[in-house]
Amino acid sequence: MTNIDKSVFEVVEHKTLINETNVASNTTSYSESNSRVRLVYAKSDGTLDDDVSDLMEVKVKIKDTVTMNGSISIPITLKIQTVDIGAAGRIIQKTALDVNYHLGGGVFSADIQWGKMMFEYTDGVWNPTTHKYENGGWNCNDEDNLIKVSNNGNIDISATYDYVSKDEYSNIVGTFKNSEDKDIKSSEIKSGQALSVYLQLSGKPTKEINKQSIGTVKIELDEVVQQ
């Protein structure tokens, strides 16, 4: 393969697809200066062990500097030559690979920062007048219940928050609040911005808990489709 346009493509991988090792050569190489990827297969005697239709695989990616869709034709040359006859027995076939490339709509990139997700449940203080515990419930250290989603891409994204209790702790419910202490189930996060939510637990455990996992927080991210 020659004339690979370096202003458009970056060669990221190349390899032979001929599954033979006991040969003089069966390797691929890429010359950036010549814009060429080639496979050199050489065998001193005999023929290929199996019928081969695919000889080489080349992976390229469109460079980040490309700003428009386009197409390009990459020449491909196949040379077959026997050792005993030499150049007189050389067969040359030429063709070209036509590539149409299209740019994506944007870059989807996000980071999720998690607090320790360590919670403690207390029954509270016994009130001898009402014969009830008061001010009990779930508590955690500051920021331990934090979930922060940062949108590092160039498109707007949405985040959906869900809490799933394990079966043995199904009476414990998880909800989410934003920094203004308002309930939140989903949110839209603009490009370059971040949003923090906080997990809140409720419900009295029906069995002893000693640092066990009682549930799972699920965050689903998606692209916001502009209407």
Q: What is the pLDDT of residues 23-52, one digit of tens each?
A: 889 899 999 999 999 999 888 777 776 777
pLDDT at 216: 95
Q: Quick check: helix, strand or coil at residue 140?
A: coil
Say which range, 12-16, 88-92, 148-152, has the weakest mean pLDDT. 88-92
Q: Where are the domains of the chain?
A: 9-101, 110-223
Residue 95 φ then ψ, to 5°: -150, -170
Task: Kindly tell me the burial class for residue 54, based on how many C-beta atoms sit within 10 Å of its own C-beta (0-12, 13-18, 19 or more).
Answer: exposed
Percent of the chain with pLDDT over 90: 44
Per-residue pLDDT averaged across 64-76, rounded?
Answer: 80
Over the chain, what is the mean pLDDT? 87
How far apart are alpha carbons 210 and 215 in whole angstroms?
A: 14
pTM above 0.75, yes or no: no
pLDDT at 27: 93
Q: What is the pLDDT of residues 71-89, one digit of tens each?
A: 888 888 888 877 665 555 6
Q: 113: pLDDT confidence band, cut at 50, 70 and 90?
A: very high
CATH code, 110-223: 2.60.40
pLDDT at 87: 57
